[in-house]
């Protein structure tokens, strides 16, 4: 495992759309491990592959309840809305109020290639939405209430 460099601010890779992962192989597994280690080292709660310069649809999230790894995640259901402050490892020192769904259901693959469905409420739903946005070149500041 290795700690990767987190892309910051106006790095163009943060604005690109990530590609679907076609095959889960050793490179993808290593990437998942490195992403988790990088996220924990930076004291974050989520990290998307583009944040370390890899344009693949992979995210890791841990809001304090254990690591969640999502390959090719897609939000299949949204419910309600909540406004709260968000920050990002790629935009250090920046915090903005962002409206997100209060509850989401996400479909993805796990590291074994199995399809999983996971529900998140509150902070977990926010983290899922934030990280999945990264896969589409969207930063939380794009969704900020006061932009």
pLDDT in tens, 25-43: 999 999 999 999 999 999 9
Residue 121 placed within a domain:
yes
Residue 6 placed within a domain:
no
Question: Tokens at residue 45, please?
Answer: 């709660």
Residue 106 placed within a domain:
yes
Contact 8, 126 (CB under 8 A): no
Residue 127 placed within a domain:
yes
- Report the number of distinct structural domains present in the chain: 1
**Which residues constitute the domain of residue 109?**
12-143
Residue 115 placed within a domain:
yes
- The DSSP-derived string for 12-73 is GGGGSPPBP-----HHHHHHHHHHHHHHHHTT-SEEEGGGGT--BSEEEE-SSS--EEEEEE
Give the domain CATH number at 72: 3.90.45.10
- Within 13 Å and on the Cβ side, how many CA atoms surround 94? 15
Residue 97 placed within a domain:
yes
pTM of model > 0.85: yes
Residue 1 placed within a domain:
no
45-60 pLDDT, tens digit per residue, is 999 999 999 999 999 9
Residue 98 placed within a domain:
yes
Residues with a catalytic annotation lie at 131
């Amino acid at each position: 495992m290795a700690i990767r460099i987190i892309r910051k601010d106006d790095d163009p890779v943060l604005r690109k759309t990530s590609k679907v992962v076609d095959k889960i192989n050793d490179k993808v597994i290593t990437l998942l491990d490195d992403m988790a280690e990088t996220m924990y080292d930076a004291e974050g709660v989520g990290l998307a592959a583009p944040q370390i310069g890899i344009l693949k649809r992979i995210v890791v999230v841990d809001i304090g309840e254990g690591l969640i790894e999502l390959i090719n995640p897609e939000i299949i259901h949204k419910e309600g809305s909540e406004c709260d402050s968000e920050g990002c490892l790629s935009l250090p020192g920046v915090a903005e109020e962002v409206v997100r769904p209060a509850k989401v259901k996400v479909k993805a693959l796990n590291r074994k290639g199995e399809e999983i469905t996971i529900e998140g409420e509150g902070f977990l739903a926010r983290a899922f939405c934030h990280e999945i946005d990264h896969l589409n070149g969207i930063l939380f500041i794009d969704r900020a209430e006061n932009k």
